Structure 1
Amino acid sequence: MTDPIADFLTRVRNAIMANHKVVEIPASNLKKEITKLLYDKGYVLNYKFVEDDKQGIIKIALKYDPKSKTSAIKTLKRVSTPGLRKYTGYKTIPRVLNGLGIAILSTSKGVMTDKEARKEQVGGEVLCFVY
C-alpha cells in the first residue's frame, strides 16, 4: 500500500456509502490523530483503538442523522498525495466550503485543523478536506 491516508479515507467513504455503523481500519499514529480530529469536530460518533499482536485496529462508529439517515460526513477528499505533496503557509491555508468544512493539516506542531493552524500561525502539508 503506497498511500495509507487515502486507504483510511476510502474505507470510511465506502462504509458511509454502504450505511455501515462501524468501520475497522488498520492503525497508525497519523490515522489515530485524524480520527481524534474527526471525533472532536463531530463528524464521527465514537472511536476505539484496539491493540492486537500486529499494528492495531481503529474502530470508528459513524454518525448519521436519525431522521434523514444521511451521514455527518458528506465528502472526504485527499489533497496531498505521495506523488504530489501539497504544502501551504499559514497565510494561504485553504478554506473548505467558506469555513463550514475542515482541512486537516500535518504541521510541525502535530496534526490539526485549518482553523487551529491559522491560530497557531503554522503551515504544513494539507492532508484532506472534510465536509
Structure 2
Amino acid sequence: MIQKRAKKGFFAVEDDNFCFEGYSLKNFTFKGYVIPYFTKNVVEQMHEVFDELEFKYNEINDTFSVTWIDDEYVDTTEYSATDIALDDNTKIHVYGIGAGDWPWDRYEMYYFLSIIQRL
C-alpha cells in the first residue's frame, strides 16, 4: 500500500541526543508525536546507536523486530515495511520504527543549519 504526501525530515526520540533522517506523513501524529518512517539503511544506523535495543531484520517477511532489553523486562515489537510517496511521487520503501510507541519529534533541516552556524 502506498501512502501519499510524505515529507522528509529529521527525527529524534524525546530527550535523546541522536537524530535520524526519515519521512512522516503530513498532519499525521499520535498523542502529539510524529510517526516517522525510515529506510532500511537508517534503521541499521539506529542499531549502532541504541545500546538498549536489539534490531533483527527478517528478509522473508521484510520486517524489523526491535527488542528493548532492560534489567526488569524484555519487550519485542515487529515493524513491517510499507511504501510511501513524496509530493513528487517518488516511492520510498520504509519501516515505521517506534511509530505510535516512541515519542518521536520532527526537526527541519534549517534547525540543524542554525545550530552549526552558531558553533
TM-score grouping bracket, smaller chain normalisation = 0.3 to 0.5
**Whose RCO is larger (CA < 8 A, sep 6+)?**
2
Structure (1 or 2) with the greater strand fraction: 2
- What TM-score do the two structures reach when normalised by structure 1? 0.31
